[in-house]
Amino acid sequence: MRLPKNTSVIWIGAAALFASITLAVTMSFAQVQTKTTISKGTASTTVNVENGEVVYVYGNSLIVKMTDGSLLHFNSVPDSTPITVDGKQVSIHDLRVGMKLQKTISTTTVPLTIKTVQTVTGTVFNVNPPRSVILTLEDGKNQEFKIPEGQKFDINGQVTNAWGLQQGMKISATKVVEAPAEVVTQQAKVTGTMPPPPPPPANVPILVIEEVQ
């Protein structure tokens, strides 16, 4: 069995002295029983804030000048994109040149540990140490299993490796695989402010020139 990278693997071998093993999920076509559990770790959240100014808007196309001077072109902004300007909900069609926009991106990551436990019980039919063993299962069928490097077996209280297995031995082996995973969710919020009104015209005296007839 090929295992995924960065996985923690624990194998436990034991003599088949137990009459039954109860597991949550059982394969009906063989005596290989599998149980999978998923446990969640502590979630972490990072927040990234971007600021810019609207320099072009037409239809659903938008160009924003960022604080570092770079230009970001958003070619097809959906009408449903939530944008809050001065506390009011607006759409892309309500944006105007000169508006200040702020985009807040919250990314939440939840680490997971996927634990898979497989248990098999059978009688040794043939062994090819240290690579594999063929077991006769309870339904009378033979099935080959790969033996991981360093695997230990407990046979009637005696710990041995694959070289200690012999034909006719009844064994029960459990494999535990723990694989890390994660769930990432992201939320974006766009807020903005209207551009300031144009300054009033300066109070400059008007020079009136009368034409001399």
pLDDT digits (tens, 9 = 90+) for 88-97: 999 999 999 9
Q: Which domain holds residue 35?
A: 1-122+151-197
Average pLDDT over residues 57-64: 94
Asked if residue 56 belongs to a domain, the reply is: yes
pTM higher than 0.75: no
Partners of 46 in the β-ladder: 107
Q: Does 2 have pLDDT greater than 80?
A: no
Asked if residue 99 belongs to a domain, the reply is: yes
Tokens at residue 76, please? 């097809």
Q: Does 26 have pLDDT greater than 70?
A: no
Residue-level pLDDT at 130: 85
Asked if residue 143 belongs to a domain, the reply is: no
The candidate with the shortest Cα–Cα distance to 174, out of 13, 1, 7, 9, is 13
Asked if residue 140 belongs to a domain, the reply is: no
Burial of residue 62 (CB within 10 Å: 0-12, 13-18, 19+) is buried
Residue-level pLDDT at 13: 39
The candidate with the shortest Cα–Cα distance to 7, out of 198, 180, 184, 205, is 180
Asked if residue 17 belongs to a domain, the reply is: yes
Average pLDDT over residues 189-206: 74
Asked if residue 68 belongs to a domain, the reply is: yes
Cα–Cα separations (whole angstroms), residue 6 to 3, 109, 118, 178: 9, 18, 19, 9
- Number of domains comprising the chain: 1
